[in-house]
Structure 1
Amino acid sequence: MNKSSNEFFKTQVLGHPTGLFVLFFTEMWERFSFYGMRALLVLFLVSALGIGGWDWPRENALALYGTYLALLYLTPIIGGTLADKYLGNRNAIIIGALIMTLGHASMAVESNPFFLYLGLGLLVIGTGFFKPNMTSFISILYKDFPEKKDGAYTIFYMGVNAGAFLGIMLCGYLGEILGWSWGFGLAGIFMLLGLLQFLFAQGIFGEVGKKPNKIDKTIETDDHTEIEDKLNPFTIIDKILIIIVAIAGLTWVINDPLSKIGDFNLLSFGGSDFSNTTIIITLILFVFLLGSRIIRYSSITRDKMIAVVIFAFFIIFFWASFEQAGGSMSIFAKDYTNRVLSGNSALIFNIVDIIITVVPIAIITYVLFLLFKQTYKKYIISNLILGFSFVLIWVIVVWKIYNNFNTYSYEISYKTYQITETNTTGDKVVKDFAITAETVIPENAQLIDNLTVIRSSNDFVKNDKISIIDLDKKGTNFKYLSDEQAELISTNISATIIRKKENEIQIPATWFLILNSLFIIAFAPLFSKWWESKYNPKPANKYAIGLFFLGIGFAFLAYGASGIPQGAKTASVSIIWLILAYLFHTLGELCVSPVGLSYVSKLVPPRMIAFMFGVWYLALAIGNKTSGKLGSMIDDITTKYDISTFFLIFTFVPIIIGIIAILLNPVLKKLMHGVK
């Protein structure tokens, strides 16, 4: 046991080394920032200009979202390599956190497109440095204590989920209630605080992670692996193919949103669009490269690598569906779900919301208190920063609770005009238009008084005159404007207060995203016991169960949306269907997540380990990009069929792939040659 390990394991919190909780809080604030921003991105892009959104078509927003997620899984390959060879884990973590802080700060200037794109780019680069090195750092710290590693990762991933939970809840709430820049800005503040607390507590890690580490990549392979590696180097053709595939794939991923948003197509030549041709040729070249590498190994090694490729194939379909959470499912929550509760339902929701907000934060605050008792003398600055972080969290939570109980619903009336038009089939159609400050009313129009409901913390009385804005230009979702906002927005609508509606609340669309983290925290211990029992399923069966759960979740959404007519842009479906969907999606994630990278490390020979980790992250990137591509079809499918059909696609595809996984189980068992 070396000196740095002694220092790291010298003091304990809840039976684990104190230093682990420095990493716990660093990762927690990074995940807070990532998931907080992710919860807002698509909603911000599709929201109306009048409330600070960009009023993008859903297709464009989901294309950018998919590309962003895809790039997040590609840059860690580069960041991990740079850390291993040049930087060391600690420097890579600090560099990544600093770049991500700048990225979040840039996104807080959300009114300027340049700063949003710059922010997303910095987040992609920063994640590349940060993401692979946090997990590697723990592995190195526990190198001499393998029996403690599982417990360490359990604590660490609780930090991941705690950060995701708090980030979505608080950044999402501030973004929707106060304005998008508040949500994006809060993500940046906590990313900075996470960086500083890590920076000032580095002494607890001794010399570990300061310099590049020679990681022991010894894994289970057949006896001829070492000889094979020396006889099977990457050829010139291999390297050329890797460069071509990387450049072509990256160009296609970036070109998808660029061609939609900027009307600039990198893959258009002579008036023809070669986007589809490019990605098909790229995939063919990649399959050839992968296959040509694999067949050069002995039969046993070859079989194991084919098993990894099959697992990677399954993971594409899982994440392509699962990542609808931040895309099409957020849109469904915003536009198609009845988020207004009244009477006892509103009271029960407020109480439940307080419990699930306060209890996790109280538990984590207690952990912080235990950490402070152990380390306050040696790492006082780091502890003060952490303490300030939690004071800030509690201030926001208390304000959130107060605001929820002091925000009221008001029934209001506003003027519209109606005109009758003849459509293409010769039928007469009556159309309603809200009267704004810039409206010119046609001579043949009929004036109508319409009723709607708004939410505001102002204490209005009957007949008060206010200004509102139609958020989605559909006449279904209005927001109160302050006098200052009304002066700046020419599309504001004059309205009159009719009455205050007691005990009525509106759930923020981002609130539903916290359910994933909440259900992980609740069900992870049960699944852990399942994996340790004699009923632990085979790897392929775990994938199948996870895919089945995923399909069931979408089946609930498809059923709940079955009453929404073709082409509808809004509806009021019960929140129960979204809650059930997130529950089953989380159960699916808990089945799939334990299988992944551990099997890559066990099945792949040393010389191919970096390449195959790249393949695995590429599969994740393809899955995430596909999620954006499929999600962007929501308007087309809703117009031609209905939104229920859209969710049925995500019901049947995972179930079919799950059945294929079960059928392939005997084949995979044979290919793995006894690897557990």
Structure 2
Amino acid sequence: MDTSVQGQQGRQKHPPGLYLLFLTEMWERFSYYGMRALLTLYLTTALVSGGLGFQKTTAMSLYGFFTGAVYFTPLAGGYLSDRFLGRRLAITIGGIAMALGNFMLFAQHNKFGLYTGLAFLIIGNGFFKPNISTLVGELYTDQDKRKDAAFTIFYMGINVGGFFAPLVCGYLAEDLFKTTANGVVQYGYRYGFLAAAIGMVIGQILFNALGDRYLGDIGKKPVGKSEDPVAAAAARAPLSKKDKQRTAVIIIITCFVVFFWAGFEQAGSSLTLYTDIFVDKHLFGWEVPTSWFQSLNPLFIVIFAPILSAFWVKLSSSKRGDLSAPTKMGLGMVMLGIGYMILILAVMQTGSDEKHIVTKANLLFIVLTYFMHTLGELFLSPVGLSMVSKLAPIKLASLLMGVWLASSGVANILGGKLAAFTQSLGYFEVFSLIGAVSIFMGLLLLLVSRMLVRMMD
């Protein structure tokens, strides 16, 4: 590790490199969430109205496959960066690929443009995602108590971008470039995708222009070729018994969080369609665009992440000590389940048949659901990123970050299947199943948390 960064760790303030990575991730997530907010609507809207006219079940399965593949490719991207590329170069390759992917969605309004664009996005995310999270961990020593707080701040970057993305891209698609021709409404989805591409380009310019100044030599070389003799030796050394135990903990908890993300990622598929059809979106006489509801989650994170970050720091300095990572994550899963219990109350009012809607649900049901999902996410996701960066052996750091992210891949594919079932089984049945399983798995994780803590040492 660069000595200037090590010196910064002795201070109470976070190193400035954290805020560069914050901004880089913010623009990448602007790009991703802007595209994601429009994807299901783009797929299911009729061709004459600016969409591709997919059946809803097909669209939600495709959405699930895409968002799943996005989180599988970090396994390959993490391996290649650990062995050959170095993390900084991998992030640049990933950023360029994702910008090209969104540009293809803008330039080609057909299935070729769709599949080519999604392929670039999947590949690019594989290089980008595991490496930027690992760089955050490298700014701190394993014993630094600020690490959980740092990942929570970093997570704010994700969600600042995630908040503005649906607003900007949704406004371009559903308002600014919406036209009417011969009585048919046409949406400007392609311009939303263009905005996502531009956001990705801005993030890469910042990262490459300021990287040397604020990150030093961190991430420039593969870990086995590091100029730091300690890091290079650790990268070549065989795994110890403790390394294997810690790796096992990462994999065990990864299996648990699959159930969290399968429920959480309904936001871009079944929750979007339910909101679009069954929720009364009028507010003071104005109809809120459907895509804007996906800004609720990042908005709540931006508000509550600093509070929770300060709480973790204060708790770690108290006599009682901080909650363990497995405990926090178990609580997060329970909160997700409670969010679905709130949503079920709305479904009981509206039913699942869009052709025979008795009444539309108050939008507060959706707001409260996203609020509980957000609290669950804050207890689980940034804590998990921090845990992986602490426990992963140096030689496997990016690869195991890729394994952690792959849980979202499995979850998104599973979530896509569950979302498709809402069209045959109904929203009540699917949302009830997701909520019950999330609460059960969260309680089970709380039950085994002490055993996992012992293995983590």
**Shorter-chain TM-score range:** 0.7 to 0.9
1:336 aligns with 2:278: yes
1:98 aligns with 2:108: no
Q: Distance in 2 between matches of 1:211 and 1:228?
A: 20
Give the structure 1 partner of residue 222 of structure 2: 212
Give the structure 2 partner of residue 137 of structure 1: 135
Give the structure 2 partner of residue 193 of structure 1: 202
Give the structure 1 partner of residue 192 of structure 2: 183
1:559 alignment partner AA? L
Q: Distance in 1 between matches of 2:142 and 2:246?
A: 28
CA gap 1:143/1:162 in 2 versus in 1, 3 angstroms: same
Give the structure 2 partner of residue 657 of structure 1: 441
Give the structure 2 partner of residue 637 of structure 1: 425
Q: Which runs of 5+ in 1 are unaligned?
A: 220-225, 230-296, 347-503
CA contact (8 A) 1:88 1:210 kept: yes
Match of 1:167 among 158, 165, 168: 165
Give the structure 2 partner of residue 563 of structure 1: 349
Aligned residues: 430
1:89 aligns with 2:87: yes
1:494-643 correspondence runs (5 A): 504-532=285-313, 533=315, 534=320, 536-565=322-351, 567-569=353-355, 571=357, 572-600=360-388, 602-603=390-391, 612-638=400-426, 643=427
Q: Which runs of 5+ in 2 are unaligned?
A: 178-187
CA gap 1:124/1:2 in 2 versus in 1, 3 angstroms: closer
Give the structure 2 partner of residue 79 of structure 1: 77
Q: Distance in 2 between matches of 1:650 and 1:550?
A: 9
Q: Distance in 2 between matches of 1:336 and 1:29?
A: 32
Shift of 1:303: 5.5
Give the structure 2 partner of residue 271 of structure 1: none
Share of identical aligned residues, percent? Answer: 38
CA contact (8 A) 2:151 2:382 kept: no
2:125 alignment partner AA? T
Which has the larger strand fraction?
A: 1
Q: Distance in 1 between matches of 2:298 and 2:365?
A: 18
Q: Distance in 2 between matches of 1:217 and 1:47?
A: 57
Q: Distance in 1 between matches of 2:384 and 2:142?
A: 24
Shift of 1:16: 5.6
CA gap 1:147/1:308 in 2 versus in 1, 3 angstroms: closer
Shift of 1:304: 4.8
CA contact (8 A) 1:548 1:588 kept: yes
CA gap 1:507/1:135 in 2 versus in 1, 3 angstroms: same
Secondary structure of the residue that 2:279 maps to in structure 1? coil
Q: Distance in 2 between matches of 1:160 and 1:326?
A: 16
CA contact (8 A) 1:100 1:127 kept: yes
CA gap 1:522/1:173 in 2 versus in 1, 3 angstroms: same
CA gap 1:110/1:41 in 2 versus in 1, 3 angstroms: farther
CA deviation profile, 1:553-606 (whole Å, cap 9, x unmatched)? 111111111022453357421101100000000011111124424444555666
Give the structure 2 partner of residue 33 of structure 1: 31
CA contact (8 A) 2:64 2:415 kept: yes
CA gap 1:544/1:210 in 2 versus in 1, 3 angstroms: closer
Q: Give the structure-2-normalised TM-score.
A: 0.83
Shift of 1:654: 0.9
Q: Distance in 2 between matches of 1:604 and 1:134?
A: 15
Give the structure 2 partner of residue 390 of structure 1: none
Q: Distance in 1 between matches of 2:145 and 2:251?
A: 30
1:211 alignment partner AA? K
Q: Distance in 1 between matches of 2:429 and 2:339?
A: 14
1:334 alignment partner AA? D
2:334 alignment partner AA? F
CA contact (8 A) 2:245 2:456 kept: no
Q: Distance in 2 between matches of 1:581 and 1:318?
A: 14
1:1-40 correspondence runs (5 A): 20-40=18-38
CA gap 1:608/1:163 in 2 versus in 1, 3 angstroms: closer
Give the structure 1 partner of residue 183 of structure 2: none
CA gap 1:530/1:630 in 2 versus in 1, 3 angstroms: same
Secondary structure of the residue that 1:637 maps to in structure 2? coil
CA deviation profile, 1:416-449 (whole Å, cap 9, x unmatched)? xxxxxxxxxxxxxxxxxxxxxxxxxxxxxxxxxx
2:340 alignment partner AA? F
CA gap 1:321/1:507 in 2 versus in 1, 3 angstroms: same
CA contact (8 A) 1:564 1:644 kept: no
2:303 alignment partner AA? A
CA gap 1:218/1:648 in 2 versus in 1, 3 angstroms: farther
Q: Give the structure-1-normalised TM-score.
A: 0.58
Secondary structure of the residue that 2:405 maps to in structure 1? helix
Q: Distance in 1 between matches of 2:254 and 2:42?
A: 32
CA contact (8 A) 2:131 2:398 kept: no
Give the structure 1 partner of residue 182 of structure 2: none
CA contact (8 A) 1:65 1:628 kept: yes
Shift of 1:48: 2.4
Secondary structure of the residue that 1:130 maps to in structure 2? helix
CA deviation profile, 1:215-250 (whole Å, cap 9, x unmatched)? 68999xxxxxx9974xxxxxxxxxxxxxxxxxxxxx
1:649 alignment partner AA? L
Whose RCO is larger (CA < 8 A, sep 6+)?
2
Secondary structure of the residue that 1:54 maps to in structure 2? coil
Shift of 1:109: 3.0
1:377-416 correspondence runs (5 A): none
Q: Distance in 1 between matches of 2:328 and 2:145?
A: 25
Give the structure 1 partner of residue 122 of structure 2: 124
Q: Distance in 2 between matches of 1:217 and 1:574?
A: 61
Q: Distance in 2 between matches of 1:198 and 1:608?
A: 24
Shift of 1:47: 1.6
Q: Distance in 2 between matches of 1:507 and 1:656?
A: 35
Q: Distance in 2 between matches of 1:55 and 1:555?
A: 32
CA contact (8 A) 2:82 2:398 kept: no
Secondary structure of the residue that 1:621 maps to in structure 2? helix
CA deviation profile, 1:503-533 (whole Å, cap 9, x unmatched)? x211000111111111111222332344342
Q: Distance in 2 between matches of 1:611 and 1:16?
A: 26
CA contact (8 A) 2:277 2:354 kept: no
1:645 alignment partner AA? E
Q: Distance in 1 between matches of 2:331 and 2:361?
A: 28
Q: Distance in 2 between matches of 1:203 and 1:303?
A: 35
1:578 alignment partner AA? I
Q: Distance in 2 between matches of 1:312 and 1:664?
A: 14
Q: Distance in 2 between matches of 1:42 and 1:301?
A: 42
CA gap 1:664/1:86 in 2 versus in 1, 3 angstroms: closer
Shift of 1:44: 1.1
